[in-house]
Structure 1
Amino acid sequence: MEKLLLFTRIYARFKPADKVEVVEMHRAHGLIVGMCGDGGNDCGALRAAHAGIALSEAEASVVSPFTSKTKSVLSVVDLLREGRGALHTSFACYKFLIMYGLMFSILKLCCYWYGIILCQMDYLFIDGVAVLSLGYAMTLSYPEQQLGKTRPTSSLIGGLNVGSVVGVWVINLMFTIGALIFMRKEEGYVQWPARFSHGAAWWTLGDNWESTVLFFTMYMQYITSAFIFSFGSSFRKNVFFNYFLMVAYWGLVIFVSVLLLLPHSQFTELWHVSSEQFNSPNPDNSVWSMYQETGGQPSPPMPFSFRFRLWWLILGNICAIVIWQKVIAEGPVARYVAKKRPSLRPKFHL
């Protein structure tokens, strides 16, 4: 029977114990086993399988984790669609939070390097608004209507997930470095005089160009990762059918874009946007005041022309990671690699 197992398609007139034995033999070969049945003689096999579907509300429904409402074997297709979609969604949320940790570590390193701290509203929008709204919205994706021929990856550290996360992270890192270099070359830029700052007065450490560039660049990267990791691929409906995610993501994109491009006002002061002239003559900030007392000169606010070009750089960053995810991580490149390096999981002989 061991030699015939993977060549056999139909088993008939089996006793309940025989059904259990066949399920266990398939499991011993490393296969994922499903079982559906409608009577008490199927209970043992339903419990032994990885996923059991009861086709009745009698004894089988008691021991089986799933029960079909239609009493049809087509419920197996529905279960596979939902299961693949749920697995793909779980990995998407996992990658979203991993990307949050990776980008936040770069943000903190940059803050230590420049001796700055983002303002409270920046952190509130990162941890409160983005994580809660987008993290919840990602779970609302629906499975595809048709069951595809391929299955999603089952490994958290498989090539698809690692390539997706690392590729997006590297692209984001390159654009972040580019934005900081772009800032340093801007006429009128004066580096934050961290030597005059005092760590206890943390509320004074966000009045600079560096905090504005870092927040807007990385915040757009972070929220866009929720969007690109929710692409449907072949297991979930297109991301544009997730209406809550679309409203939340594009609402944040528009809000942050307007906030960056607006002229100085009491509204932009809540986020300490550098459209305000922090290093003005007789500044309120004690750090800039000490800087001028030691011979430093006042510097202008971040001009609209620079903020507009920074906005275009951020849009380029969004386009780059969208292309990476759609073409490389989940597109034709990924399918080509999967074809060349197929799964080693045991298969039935055709």
Structure 2
Amino acid sequence: MGASPQGANEEPRLSYTRADRPKDAGDPTADYVSIPLSSDRSYHFAMTGKTFEVLTSGRGHPSFDRLLSKCVVFARMSPEQKQLLVERLQELGYHVVPHDFNEVLEKYTEKGYRVLAVAHRRLDSFKYLRLQRASREELETSLTLMGLIVLENRLKPATGPVIEELKLARVRVIMVTGDNILTALSVARECGMVAAGEELYVVGASPQGANEEPRLSYTRADRPKDAGDPTADYVSIPLSSDRSYHFAMTGKTFEVLTSGRGHPSFDRLLSKCVVFARMSPEQKQLLVERLQELGYHVGMCGDGANDCGALKAAHAGISLSEAEASVASPFTSKTPDISCVPTLIREGRAALVTSFGVFKYMAAYSLTQFVSVMLLYSIDCNLTDFQFLFIDLVLITLLVTFFGNTRAHDGPLNKRPPPSALAAIAPVLSLLLQVLLVIAFQVAAFFFVADQSWFKPFVPNDADEYASHSNYAVYTVSSFQYVGLVVIFSKGAPYRMPIYTNYPLSGLVAALLAMNVYLTVEPQGFFRSWLELEVPEDHGFRWLMVGAGVIYILMGFLVELLLVGWFVSHKCLPRFHQVERSKKKFLLIEKSLATDVHWPPITGCIRMNTIDSPP
């Protein structure tokens, strides 16, 4: 194809020339001839037959008529559809599919190339009206193979490192593709989904009777040769209890296993299968749903219209393009690679931890204020109106506003996801222990101030004046607790950055702590009268209240970090976790597979060119 620039406001002139430079019959010295082509009709890509056809015709040129006749159908198809590539033997007397077709196809697909077969058929006997009404099945017969188009599937630079990062974080990675299974297996090994030394088996399924289970077969994907017989199709495979293996299957096998009665081993296969090849859009969506039924939280990446159903069905769908897939998925990546997956996981985990932290803080704040009120009610006292206002408006509102500004942790993904339920043991225990600490410090301050020699008991009055030493002790200690709870519940690694990286929140915490120290030790005129504080004359007691607030923050932080975060979450809960009672069915399947050394029943290996044959 060539282009010649025309005028400033005119379109370029295009020319189309044959690359092999056929000679013009009328001018034997001509280097190039123009061949007018027209597309009379096209058929969209069919997932069932994996074919795409175009009807073309050439008019008015002897070279074209001599080469391809008047009307030709060109078909692009999956190389596995070899039955479409055989010409009528009675007419031609020979095979148009070369005898080494399988070997050549396997040579390229094993290296990860995408291979397309191109065939054509001359339609000399077809009239124009018949051509317009011809079905694709009618045109897909008696095709002559023209050759194979080999396309290289180059991995994007980010693919390998991202998959390695996900595997280190125990995030299961699965490939679901419409490509040839050999290409998919090659790419799976190249990108690290199947590591060196790990065995890979292709699962086949043959349907039996209406009320019978499909018959399964497991074959080695790397076709090891028998040392004694290099031409052997089958070799024995020694089994070992500590082997690491994965499965791969095609859409045909998946269809057999999901239709009718299915197979009792299907859930096991899903938990170990890493490659699903030749999958239709409906099968991709069904796979996502079946994985969800096993308890997986499924994220799906896709960039085409064929992925829309699966993207919509997944818990988190990520479109890698701004085309059709972006309409069905809630997330669209600005970069067309999977580097966005760890980022989405980090952001999701950080958002979950932040929401749990805000919930626990609001619950703890309410309970803290409830404890203060109940203690003062015991002596017919209470917090003053402006003390309530200062706590709610200045402390709580400002702290909650900036609580969620902490960014997601930028280090490696943690192997353990954060708790996904508020009613879980760790969140509930965390809140309960912090409330117990709040109660302990407020009760201690309430009774400690009453034991002082200068203490003046509160005398109830009709003017609702609550200024007293008891009010001062409870309010000052609780004001430190409100600020301290933000520090305690604002967890950092492994899901969020440390609190000091949240500059607005850390600055606000420092400012409020300084204000609380000021209001506790030496409040002056306006603040003293506004908050109605009965400040003791003993400066040592004032600093004791500051010390009690600081000690509470330190103790609460250590309890949350060591007792709840390390001892309970990482030491105790995993030991007492009962897989049998878990809602995640795949955990029980993985446990049974770890102890079942006799499954799968691998006994031999077959050549890879048989795995896509119809059962």
Normalising by the residue count of structure 2, what TM-score does the alignment of the two structures yield? 0.50
Equivalence for 1:157: 423
**Structure (1 or 2) with the greater helix fraction:** 1
Equivalence for 1:177: 443
Equivalence for 1:241: 501
Structure whose CA Rg is larger: 2
Matched, 1:96 2:331: no
CA distances 1:10-46 after superposition (whole Å, capped 9, x unpaired) = 1111011110111111111122111110000000111
Moved more, 61-70 or 139-148: 139-148
Q: CA deviation at 1:185?
A: 0.8
Contact 1:209-1:302 within 8 A present in 2 as well:
no
SS of residue matched to 1:72: coil
CA distances 1:306-328 after superposition (whole Å, capped 9, x unpaired) = 21222222222222111111211
Q: CA deviation at 1:191?
A: 1.1
Q: CA deviation at 1:263?
A: 6.0
Whole-angstrom CA distance in 2 between matches of 1:334 and 1:231: 14
Whole-angstrom CA distance in 2 between matches of 1:38 and 1:103: 51
Equivalence for 1:250: 510
Moved more, 111-120 or 337-346: 337-346
Which ranges in structure 2 are unaligned for 5 or more consecutive residues?
A: 1-265, 595-615
SS of residue matched to 2:365: helix
Matched, 1:41 2:306: yes
CA distances 1:143-181 after superposition (whole Å, capped 9, x unpaired) = 011322110000101111111111111011111111112
- Aligned-pair identity (%): 30
Find 1:272's aligned residue among 504, 508, 532: 532
Whole-angstrom CA distance in 2 between matches of 1:3 and 1:305: 69
SS of residue matched to 1:244: helix
Contact 1:81-1:143 within 8 A present in 2 as well:
yes
The one-letter code matched in structure 2 to 1:261 is: V
Contact 2:302-2:318 within 8 A present in 1 as well:
yes
The count of residues paired between Structure 1 and Structure 2 equals 319
Q: How is 1:81-160 mapped onto 2 (pairs within 5 angstroms)? A: 81-146=346-411, 147-160=413-426
Q: CA deviation at 1:111?
A: 2.5
CA distances 1:65-120 after superposition (whole Å, capped 9, x unpaired) = 00010111121111101000000000000000010121121122123212123223
Q: CA deviation at 1:139?
A: 0.7
Q: CA deviation at 1:124?
A: 1.7
The one-letter code matched in structure 2 to 1:52 is: G
Contact 1:114-1:210 within 8 A present in 2 as well:
no
Contact 1:84-1:235 within 8 A present in 2 as well:
yes
**Structure (1 or 2) with the greater strand fraction:** 2
Whole-angstrom CA distance in 2 between matches of 1:74 and 1:90: 25
SS of residue matched to 1:231: coil
Equivalence for 2:457: 191
Shift in CA distance, 47/267, structure 1 to aligned 2, threshold 3 Å: closer
SS of residue matched to 1:330: helix
Runs of 4+ aligned structure 1 residues displaced above 4 Å come to none
CA distances 1:203-229 after superposition (whole Å, capped 9, x unpaired) = x2x221111111111111122111110
The one-letter code matched in structure 2 to 1:40 is: A
Equivalence for 1:224: 484
Moved more, 265-274 or 240-249: 265-274
The one-letter code matched in structure 2 to 1:208 is: S
Normalising by the residue count of structure 1, what TM-score does the alignment of the two structures yield? 0.87
Whole-angstrom CA distance in 2 between matches of 1:23 and 1:264: 65
Equivalence for 1:75: 340
Equivalence for 1:53: 318
Whole-angstrom CA distance in 2 between matches of 1:29 and 1:51: 16
Whole-angstrom CA distance in 2 between matches of 1:177 and 1:111: 10
Which ranges in structure 1 are unaligned for 5 or more consecutive residues?
A: 276-300
The one-letter code matched in structure 2 to 1:334 is: S
Whole-angstrom CA distance in 2 between matches of 1:187 and 1:26: 70
Whole-angstrom CA distance in 2 between matches of 1:100 and 1:110: 16
Equivalence for 2:269: 4
Whole-angstrom CA distance in 2 between matches of 1:270 and 1:247: 25
Whole-angstrom CA distance in 2 between matches of 1:314 and 1:15: 63
Contact 2:426-2:568 within 8 A present in 1 as well:
no
Contact 1:233-1:330 within 8 A present in 2 as well:
no
Whole-angstrom CA distance in 2 between matches of 1:213 and 1:272: 13
Q: CA deviation at 1:264?
A: 5.4
SS of residue matched to 2:321: coil
**RMSD of aligned alpha carbons:** 1.7
Whole-angstrom CA distance in 2 between matches of 1:111 and 1:330: 34
The higher relative CO (CA closer than 8 Å, separation ≥ 6) is in 1
Whole-angstrom CA distance in 2 between matches of 1:95 and 1:119: 26
Contact 1:16-1:42 within 8 A present in 2 as well:
yes
Equivalence for 2:53: none
